[in-house]
Amino acid sequence: MEAVDIKKGLAGVVVDYTAVSKVNPDTNSLLYRGYPVQELAAKCSFEEVAYLLWNGELPTAEQLAEFTARERAGRPLDPVAKQVIDTLPTTAHPMDVCRTAASVLGARHELAEDASPQANMKKAIDLWAAMPSVVAYDQRRRRGQDVVEPRDDLGYSANFLWMTFGEEPVDEVVEAFNVSMILYAEHSFNASTFTARVVTSTLSDLHSAVTAAISALKGPLHGGANEAVMHTFDEIGIRSEESLEEAAARARAWMEGALAQKKKVMGFGHRVYKHGDSRVPTMKAALDKMIAHYGRPELLGLYNGLEQAMDEAKGIKPNLDYPAGPTYHLMGFDTPMFTPLFVASRITGWTAHIMEQLASNALIRPLSEYNGMDERHLP
Ligand SMILES: CC(=O)SCCNC(=O)CCNC(=O)[C@H](O)C(C)(C)COP(=O)(O)OP(=O)(O)OC[C@H]1O[C@@H](n2cnc3c(N)ncnc32)[C@H](O)[C@@H]1OP(=O)(O)O
Ligand SMILES: O=C([O-])CC(=O)C(=O)O
């Protein structure tokens, strides 16, 4: 039998072109439509970046005004989506709620079966505008709290925090949240985006593709890692009375133990980046600001201890989920809500890819090499 070169996990396989983003592991860079993500995070609102991902160019002032008006109009929680969410047990993972909401919003969309570029752009903007109220309400209902209506006078990030906590957020927190949304927005052919493209390649609809992408994002080897990072911090123990050095020493010892047991530690490693994730320095700077803002140096101790011990033992660097997890924790999000926050952001990248896939579609259907029973027959 001829040896077949199996590309397990499609590692290293280039399957198509994309003009949405460029991940370069050699130079540790990430470009959205040609712009370095660090520059976008420093100078743009998430709304501008969403527009860029969908349209290929940053908006003019007039385009941005029209675009943000559309986003604000789409914010209120859909009443049927709310009814459905209310039937779901609070034991259901928030990612299941997100996935269900995306599906319900698809079934209710007036352009559900219209796959024209105009309809898909409208569906993408509508879903992006609607998801924060789903995520915010889900955290609130789990705490026995009511819906907080969106505010038209706040930008996307400030309004998201407002709808979640019912308090007007301070600028520093809004900025850190905005940075996280921009960094999470897009990352070429990652597992969830590829899932969206596979579904789209069958000429299924946009909401179906996003619903499948949410399912792929849930796993801890992908988006679920931001939540898993916080579980690691909790397992080590967050002790507010501890100094940075004491916390770092306990974290180092925990990591040494975990690696001795050959555990995979979530928030570290990446399929593409082998010398560090291009987004981590920017997200870590936002985390540092939040640690200073909330006065929680022990979290920095845990962060540093784990990172250093992993680097020394295996040379494996943190990925974006590592600084994002504790940042969301400091902001007041419950740990299971972290991956839904990733969803709210990544809807932009997923839908940009869905539209790109459709513009030059080919059914995605790879081959497999059979290694089961030889042909046999019933008696
Ligand atoms: C936004 C995102 O989705 S970023 C990714 C988020 N995911 C995580 O943080 C989950 C933890 N990380 C991992 O599981 C992996 O690094 C992945 C899945 C992200 C990438 O993995 P791959 O490219 O398939 O590499 P693979 O899993 O084969 O790892 C290569 C080696 O590094 C080790 N390794 C990789 N990541 C880790 C980790 N987080 N902890 C411990 N060891 C690790 C593996 O055990 C393996 O070691 P071995 O060669 O001795 O068996
Ligand atoms: O690219 C990947 O494989 C995972 C990732 O970092 C992302 O989706 O942001």
Q: Which of 186, 192, 270, 277 to mutate to test the pocket of ligand 2 (most atoms within 8 A of CB)?
A: 270
pLDDT tens-digit profile of 24-43?
A: 998 889 999 999 999 999 99
pLDDT value for 31: 98
Of 222, 270, 329, 353, the active-site residue reads 270
Told to judge if 109 belongs to the known catalytic residues of this protein, a careful annotator would answer no
- ipTM for the complex? 0.98
Q: Fill in the amino acid letter for 38.
A: Q
Residue closest to 156 by CA, chosen among 177, 127, 186:
177
pLDDT score, position 62 = 98
pLDDT score of 305 more than 90: yes
CA-CA distances (angstroms) from residue 305 to 19, 78, 207, 256, 320? 38, 44, 41, 10, 17
269 lines ligand 1 (CB under 6 A): yes
* Average pLDDT along the chain: 97
Give the C-alpha separation, 279 to 275, whole Å: 12
Crossing angle of helices 206-217 and 94-108, in 10° steps, is 180
pLDDT of amino acid 66: 98
Task: Give the pLDDT score at 315.
Answer: 97
Q: Quick check: CB of 272 below 6 Å from ligand 2?
A: yes
pTM of the model as a whole: 0.98
SS (H, E, C) 340-378: HHHHHHHHHHHHHHHHHHHHCCCCCCCCCCCCCCCCCCC
Say how far apart CA 361 and CA 315 lie, in whole Å: 40
Count of helices and strands (H, E) across the chain: 16, 3
The predicted structure's pLDDT at residue 2: 72
Would you say 38 and 52 are in contact if contact means Cβ atoms under 8 Å apart?
Answer: no
Indicate if the pLDDT at residue 175 is higher than 90: yes
- For 364-374, letters b (16+ CB in 10 Å) and e give eeeeeeeeeee
Q: Is the CB of residue 318 below 6 angstroms from any atom belonging to ligand 1? A: no
Backbone φ, ψ for residue 294 (5° rounding): -90, -5
* Ligand 1 atom having least distance to the Cα of 267: 9
Residues contacting residue 50 through CB under 8 Å, at least 6 positions apart: 71, 128, 185, 348
Q: Please, how many CA atoms are within 13 Å of residue 248, restricted to the half-sphere of its CB?
A: 11
Token pair 């839908």: residue:
351
Reported as a pLDDT band with limits 50, 70 and 90, residue 1 is low
| Tokens found for residue 260 | 């001795």
Alpha carbon distance 30, 7 (integer Å): 25
